[in-house]
Amino acid sequence: MHTALQRLEVQRTFTGIVRGLLIAVYLSSAGFTSVFETELSNEVPVIKASLAGTRLVGRLSVGNKHGLLLPTSATDQETMHIRNSLPDEVILQRTEERLSALGNCIACNDHVALVHPDIDQETEEIIADVLGVEVFRQSVAGNVLVGSFCKFSSRGGIVHPHASVQEIDELSSLLQVW
C-alpha cells in the first residue's frame, strides 16, 4: 500500500487487524481512515473505532482470527461498537491487566502469543483462551514490550533490528513461522 503514511509505527498506533478486519481510529481528519478505506476496502473491511476515548487502537488492543482483547479502559459503548462490527465467531473480551497497552505487551498470530514477562497469570490464561494460542513470556531484542518490538502472522514476521540471528531463529521456531 503506497500512502502518505510513511511510518509503520504511526500506522500501528492507530490501527489493528483482527480476522481480516482493519480496526482504524476515528479521527477528526477523515484523511487517515479514508486512505485505508480507499486502498483496502475491497479486500479488508475497515471498522472505525476508538479505545478508552483515545486514538491508540493498535496500542491498546491485540487480536487474531479467534479473538480480540481490549483493556478495561475501553468504554461499554466502544466495546459494543466493536462487538457489533466483528464476525460472531470472534471472541471479544476486556481484560483487567494492569499493563493496559495490550498491543505493546503482546504479539501474536493464530497459534502463539509472546507476552511481556510481567503480565498477570490470569491475563495469560485469558490470552490463551480468547486467542486460542500457546503463550510464552518473552523479550525481543532485550526489550519486554514484545508487541512493540515484533509483529508477525502465521506466515512471517518482522523483529527489531537489534534482535540477534539466534533470537530470530528461536522466535521462528516458537512462532511456528519458517
Residue 70 reports pLDDT greater than 90: yes
Residue 26 reports pLDDT greater than 80: no
Q: Which three cell numbers stand for residue 59?
A: 496500542
Residue 129 reports pLDDT greater than 80: yes
Could you tell me the pLDDT band of residue 73, with boundaries at 50, 70 and 90? very high
Could you tell me the pLDDT band of residue 142, with boundaries at 50, 70 and 90? very high
Which carries the bigger pLDDT value, residue 34 or residue 87?
A: 87
C-alpha closest to that of 14 among 36, 45, 39, 44 = 36
Q: Which three cell numbers stand for residue 134?
A: 500457546
- CA distances (Å), 72 to each of 1, 36, 76, 102, 166, in order? 33, 27, 9, 11, 37
Q: What is the pLDDT of residue 138?
A: 93
Instruction: For the chain, count helices (H), then strands (E).
Output: 8, 11
Residue 7 reports pLDDT greater than 90: no
Long-range contact pairs involving 154-162 (C-beta distance under 8 Å, separation at least 24): 154/109, 154/110, 154/111, 157/109
* Alpha carbons within 13 A on the beta-carbon side of 45: 10
Residue 56 reports pLDDT greater than 50: yes
Average confidence (pLDDT) over 109-131: 96
Task: Return the SS3 of 57.
Answer: helix
Residue 123 reports pLDDT greater than 90: yes
